[in-house]
Chains A and B, each alone.
Chain A
Amino acid sequence: MSNLRCFGIEGCDADQKSPFSFTPQRLHVNKDHPLFEDGDIYRHMYLQNLTASETDDQPKLSVSEFGCHISGCRQLLRSVEEYEHHYASLHRHTCSSCRRCFPSARLLDVHIEEWHDSLFNILSHSRDMYQCLVEGCGLKFRTSTQRKDHLIKVHKYPPDFRFDKAKREHGKEIKPQRKQSSSVEVMQGVCESASDVCEDMCAAERDQQEEDMEAMELQGPSGPGAQGSPCVGTSAGQQATETGSDWQKPRYSYRVPATVCFGQGSVRGFRGRGRRK
């Protein structure tokens, strides 16, 4: 089947071949078909005088599991509610640049702004740009440390609440520090399909994702003293919507290309079409 995405082409031909192929069909089932196995066994158990009584304890009925659709995420779930929770928690608000996911669109936006927006990077030197994370507060701060202090003092966040991306000790490579000035150009060079975004994100270790969730995923600027967070895969340099045609098998690498910087990248993250504007 040919791919049908029309990327930004107006008046796309609606008569494109439909991928749908269902036709009603009567099915003849042959004697040896697996569909008939259980019944045949039941029949022969009867012939051999071994039919089960009511007290037989074998559970036979099974319910379909739900499974996260995002390719590479093999999570199985037991109900629609679990599915929704999983998806909303781990896939919906995901930054395509660094694969971190956030519990809400706003926090994702804040993250993208602070981490991947070069304009922010520039402006933050001269004015207060770090927003308070609490909805409705509106205050801004010059550094992320100041913001953190504000969150603890005024909004009573626990002092041990993780704000900074700590060094990862999960067997991943620790990315060496990067100088800010070199950050801007570097990102352009990395062109991976967005399919890696979700795959790599999902393939990250569970506890990292949980940590990400808790910490609301913000990090201070990567100045000389700060530590960058290690990337768990290659960075995506494109918008996800451009890559519908080239789905490849998940490629997942822990190694960080030398040219990639995770301080403040220059690329806006992917927020998915589901993002309501």
Chain B
Amino acid sequence: MWRLSSVRHKAAPQGRSVEESKLKRREQEKVLRQARKDRQLVSKRLLLSDDEDDDDAPTPMDADSGDRVVGLVHQLQHSSHEKEPQLKALSKALRNPSAQTIFIKQENSMHLLVGLLSGSQAQWRLLAAQCLHELSQSHQPNVTLACLPATPYLLTYLSGQSTKFTERCLYTLGNLCPDSDVIRDKLLAQGIVPALKKCMESQRYNLAVVEAVGFTLSQLLQAKDAAEKIIPMVLASGLHSHLLSVLTPDPQFGLAPAIECAWCLHYLTCSTVDNSALRAEGALSRCSSLLVTLGDAVSKGNKEDGMELLVWPLLRSVGNLLSSGPTEDMSSQVGHLHLLPTLCALARAYLPSQPALARESTWVLNNLTADSRELCVALLDLNLIPDLIQLLPFSQGINTMVLRVLGNVAHKTNSYCSRLAQAGLVPALCATLRMSEPDIVVLSLEVLFMLLAGCPQVAEEFVKQDGITLLEAIQYNGEGEIRQRAAHLLEHHLPS
């Protein structure tokens, strides 16, 4: 159905074995996890230029590359017409980090590039932009800071008509955003948000550009201070409604633009608790209905490559949009009813490959059912309880969240308790009560309490499952809150 067409990246250099690639992925994953813990998770994207082969090996670092850069700059500064080959060579050379440092240290080098970028020669503009794009890949603050003089021009070109050029400018800006507060503040002052909005409006049929806008915005929105500085601007500009309108993936172009916009929506919804502006634009129903469509495809076995990249931010947006806001919203939106089987299907489908995604599905289920009687009864009517029970063996937060969902249902009314018992919850609880994680045991006891209090027949079934012996053993647990709950059940709700 939808294909994921990723930005043309540097392919992995040839000659790497599968094992080496795996190793590299694992190492990079570790690096990313640590970066996230340090709240410095930053990625950059490289757009290859049209005439480049994917097979191009990265420029090896040698003693000459520095000299080469110096020489090229010199030539560019002093020749008046023949610049193309040098610019091309320069952009290639600037892939090399040490060459980048040498370049920015060279006097007037940035001035040269900016001049070419803003000059009248279209081809030179393009190539100068390419050089800047290479520089933007750097993770060294002095390199990216040195690019600041170019940003007003890059922003101006966003409203231009040359789409390839616009794309390149966008990715360059997107790469520069996460690096420092100074850069971000400058960009915000220079009007990046309205520029992005205008670009998205005028280029909405050019999905490559839309993807690039989405990427750039997502980079801005990940900033630590986004909630205070950036998000209010974005909401004030109305950019979020454009994001919503782009969400449906185009069958031919692929998932990529929708992916970028969905991640932007996620950063918007998770950074602030008050999402009324987004809700006013129908964000919840838009994201829910897309999620339902995707879930449908997934349960039919049409798991497209990269679909998780779209499902994930949609789940999070829906989850966080549901977390605040009036409770009447819950049942008044029919879309929520359809979400219930979708979420269960997503959890089941992604459990083996992406258990964290399954966990987030159950979180959304919690937010749907916590305050809505209608949705709880729908969970029962749609016979989804057995599906949820099947998730109970799985750890890393999955079973705790499922127990919360079941608790939400049991909490509502006594008649639901007997239906939960009929669906097979009691033997399942007898298993979760034996688990080693205290959170799981406490939640299991809570759910059991509600079942026993709501439906006396449950006691019979529980006793038949040898539940009394189990609770007696639980009275010896090291955690006080576990012992007390078990004791209370034995004392007040079970035959002695």
Contact = CB atoms under 8 A, between A and B. Distances in A.
B238 to A, nearest CB: 22
Interface stretch (B124-132, B335-343, B487-495): B487-495
A120 interface: no
B476 A66 contact: no
B270 A31 contact: yes
Nearest to B489: A20
A20 B449 contact: yes
Interface in B455-488: 468-469, 472-478, 480-485, 487-488
B394 A64 contact: yes
A66 B436 contact: yes
What interface size band does chain A fall in?
A: 35 or more
A66 B435 contact: yes
B88 interface: no
A80 B434 contact: yes
A39 B312 contact: yes
Contacts of B355: 38, 60-62
A29 B308 CA distance: 19
A76 B477 contact: no
Nearest to A21: B446
Given A39-B316, A272-B472, A45 B28 contact: yes
Interface string B350-378: 01111111011001001101110000000
A126 interface: no
B218 to A, nearest CB: 9
Given A14-B492, A60-B354, A66-B434, A26 B474 contact: no
A22 B407 contact: yes
A45 B25 contact: yes
Nearest to B42: A44
A32, A50, A83, A244: most-surrounded residue (chain B CB, <10 A): A50
B484 A4 contact: yes
A43 to B, nearest CB: 6
Contact of A69 (B352, B363, B432, B474): B474
A56 to B, nearest CB: 7
A42 B434 contact: no
A30 B269 CA distance: 9
B395 A64 contact: yes
Given A18-B488, A31-B271, A244-B475, A38 B408 contact: no
A1 to B, nearest CB: 5
A29 B270 contact: yes
Given A22-B443, A60-B354, A70-B476, A49 B29 contact: no
B304 interface: no
A124 interface: no
A274 interface: yes
Chain B interface secondary structure, helix, strand, loop or mixed?
helix
Contacts of B487: 3-5, 244
A1 B367 contact: no
A28 B484 contact: no
A29 B319 contact: yes
Contacts of A205: none
A29 B363 contact: yes
Interface stretch (B108-116, B154-162, B320-328): B320-328
B440 interface: yes
B9 interface: yes
A87 B396 CA distance: 25
A28 B354 contact: no
A158 interface: no
Nearest to B325: A26
Nearest to B352: A61
A48 interface: yes
Interface string A52-81: 100111101111111111111000110010
B46 to A, nearest CB: 9
A39 B9 CA distance: 21
Contact of B477 (A19, A36, A71): A71
A3 B488 CA distance: 9
Nearest to A249: B478
B408 A247 contact: no
Contact of A3 (B441, B482, B484): B484
Given A56-B22, A62-B395, A38 B356 contact: yes
Contacts of A55: 18
A224 B366 CA distance: 68
A224 to B, nearest CB: 38
Interface string B441-459: 1010111011000000000
A136 interface: no
A58 B303 CA distance: 20
A25 B488 contact: no
Contacts of A87: 473
A182 to B, nearest CB: 33
Contacts of B322: 26
Nearest to B407: A22
B395 A63 contact: yes
Interface in B1-46: 6, 9-10, 12, 18, 22, 24-26, 28-29, 32-33, 36, 39, 41, 43-45
B28 A1 contact: no
Nearest to B10: A49
B25 A56 contact: yes
A27 B366 CA distance: 8
A42 B32 CA distance: 10
B24 A40 contact: no
B363 A63 contact: no
The 9 closest A-B pairs by CB, nearest first: A67-B436, A38-B356, A28-B323, A22-B446, A47-B43, A24-B370, A71-B478, A64-B395, A49-B9
9 contacts: A1-B484, A3-B487, A29-B319, A35-B363, A38-B356, A46-B6, A48-B44, A49-B9, A64-B393
Interface of B: 6, 9-10, 12, 18, 22, 24-26, 28-29, 32-33, 36, 39, 41, 43-45, 222, 263, 267, 270-271, 273, 306, 308-309, 312-313, 316, 319-320, 322-324, 351-357, 359-360, 363, 366-367, 369-371, 393-397, 399, 404, 407-408, 411, 430-432, 434-437, 440-441, 443, 445-447, 449-450, 468-469, 472-478, 480-485, 487-488, 491-492, 496
